[in-house]
């Protein structure tokens, strides 16, 4: 037999009561907004996934109540619509799958929500990884894609966090299956962006960042012209060379291959939507935040 929960203090009861009132008011204002057209269904579905008070309040809303808020759709039509797109009658927004949410949007003639895709490129050693680390602190909602690579892990790199360290056979099989959004060979190794995790985040409205080299960035730009492409440039050639050497992760031959490639990459900077100079990491990250 489970014990009853401990009684709440008077303060906790009144705080919980105030949160409940705020949540009910929020749901009522969203229903009113759907009724008069000032709130978009896509925004409500995205917000219901947020991990904050607004998200939690919306996640508790019943789908049938949400749909019945639209003019000319009463509870009966709402229930019929849900049955047609395969949503259980008692489902709440927090329990909706991505496909069910997309089906609802389609039924209402709204395009599915899409997060912004940002592609960050630039020569090896310019500081892409360092700037992205700062950017993540400034924008915790940003999802940074984890690439697959055939190169060996550097000391401290973790499989599944920094990269998916795959053997060549697995990489090649994924290329054959069309599982990469883009892939390229760089300085003797292969690197690729697994397609599905990116598509899933964009579908749910989350901003996504890819940190990839030039050929891959070109492939993404061709396939997804709506992506924002950013080139991270060094303050000077000497800075680039000293950063790459200073990192101490490659031997002389590998540094030579990366520098040779860097000359070609630098000459392509003009192809991109924006060029950000990485003179100062915090400043460069702030510029990227503006582009997001
Ligand atoms: P990339 O990911 O582009 O290959 P890294 O982020 O690994 O580059 O950075 C390469 C080296 O340059 C690292 O040692 C890093 O600490 C250093 N670095 C990055 N940004 C700056 C900067 N703005 N000023 C000075 N050094 C930097
Ligand atoms: P590194 O070996 O220094 O981690 O990466 C080498 C280069 O590969 C960097 O310019 C990096 O941005 C790029 N890169 C990392 N992941 C990918 C990817 O998925 N696709 C492409 N095209 N390049 C990648």
pLDDT on residue 2: 59
Instruction: Report the largest interatomic distance among the alpha carbons of the chain, rounded to a whole angstrom.
Output: 72
The 10 Å Cβ neighbour count of residue 265 is 21
> Does the pTM of the predicted model rise above 0.95?
no
pLDDT at 72: 82
Res. 3: pLDDT tops 80: no
Looking at 94-181, list the stretches that DSSP marks H as alpha helix, in order from N- to C-terminal side.
98-107, 128-138, 168-176
Q: What pLDDT shows up at residue 15?
A: 80
CA–CA dist 127, 124 (Å, integer): 8
- What separation in Å is there between the alpha carbon of 236 and the centre of ligand 1? 13
Give the distance (Å) from ligand 1 centre to CA of residue 212: 15
Lowest mean pLDDT among 70-84, 156-170, 209-223: 70-84
**DSSP-derived secondary structure for 197-253:** HHHHHHHTT--EEEE--HHHHHHHHHH-TTSEEEEEE-S-HHHHHHHHHHH--S-HH
The CB-based long-range contact list for 69-75 (8 Å cut-off, 24+ gap) reads 69/30, 69/31, 69/32, 69/34, 69/35, 70/34, 70/35, 70/108, 71/35
In the reported structure, the alpha carbon of residue 18 is separated from the centroid of ligand 1 by a whole-number distance in angstroms of 48
pLDDT surpassing 90 at residue 110: no
Q: Nearest-CA neighbor of 45 among 34, 1, 12?
A: 34
Of 203, 244, 229, 219, which is closest to residue 288 (Cα–Cα)?
229
Question: What's the angle, vertex CA 14, arms to CA 12 and CA 16, rounded to 5?
Answer: 65
- Most informative mutation of 196, 212, 231, 249 for ligand 2 (most atoms within 8 A of CB): 212
3-state secondary structure of 68: helix
Residue owning the nearest CA to atom 13 of ligand 1: 247
Residue whose structure tokens are 């990250």: 285
The pLDDT tens digits for 121-140 are 999 999 999 999 999 999 88
Report the pocket of ligand 2 as residue ranges, CB < 6 Å.
Answer: 124, 128, 147, 151, 182-184, 186, 191-193, 211-213, 215-216
User: Which residue, judged by its Cα, is nearest atom 10 of ligand 2?
Assistant: 213
pLDDT value, residue 292: 80
Token duo for residue 13? 């009861």
Please say if the pLDDT value at position 165 is more than 90.
yes
Computed over every residue of the chain, the mean pLDDT equals 91
What is the Cα–Cα distance from 54 to 69, expressed in whole angstroms? 18
Nearest Cα residue to atom 22 of ligand 2: 216
pLDDT given for residue 112 in this prediction:
67
- The position carrying tokens 């204002």 is 29
Whose alpha carbon is nearest atom 19 of ligand 2?
192
């Amino acid at each position: 037999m489970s014990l009853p929960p401990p009684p709440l203090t008077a303060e906790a009861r009144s705080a919980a009561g105030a949160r409940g009132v705020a949540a009910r008011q929020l749901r009522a204002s969203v229903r009113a907004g759907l009724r008069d057209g000032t709130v978009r269904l896509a925004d409500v579905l995205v917000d219901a996934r947020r991990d904050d008070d607004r998200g939690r309040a919306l996640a508790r809303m019943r789908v049938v109540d949400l749909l019945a808020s639209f003019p000319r759709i009463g509870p009966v039509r709402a229930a019929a619509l849900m049955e047609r797109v395969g949503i259980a009658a008692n489902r709440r927004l927090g329990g909706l799958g991505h496909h069910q949410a997309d089906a609802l949007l389609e039924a209402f003639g709204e395009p599915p929500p899409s997060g912004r895709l940002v592609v960050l490129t630039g020569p090896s050693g310019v500081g892409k990884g360092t700037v992205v680390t700062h950017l993540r602190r400034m924008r915790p909602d940003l999802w940074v894609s984890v690439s697959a690579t055939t190169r060996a892990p550097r000391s401290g790199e973790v499989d599944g966090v920094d990269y998916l360290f795959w053997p060549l056979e697995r990489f090649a099989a994924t290329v054959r299956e069309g599982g990469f959004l883009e892939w390229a060979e760089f300085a003797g190794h292969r690197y690729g962006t697994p397609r599905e995790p990116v598509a899933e985040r964009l579908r749910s409205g989350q901003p996504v960042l890819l940190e990839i080299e030039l050929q891959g960035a070109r492939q993404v730009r061709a396939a997804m012209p709506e992506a924002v492409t950013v080139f991270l440039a060094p303050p000077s050639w000497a800075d680039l060379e000293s950063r790459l050497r200073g990192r101490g992760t490659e031997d002389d031959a590998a540094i030579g291959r990366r520098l040779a490639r860097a000359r070609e990459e630098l000459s392509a900077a003009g192809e991109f939507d924006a060029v950000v100079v990485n003179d100062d990491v915090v400043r460069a990250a702030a510029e990227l935040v503006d582009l997001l």
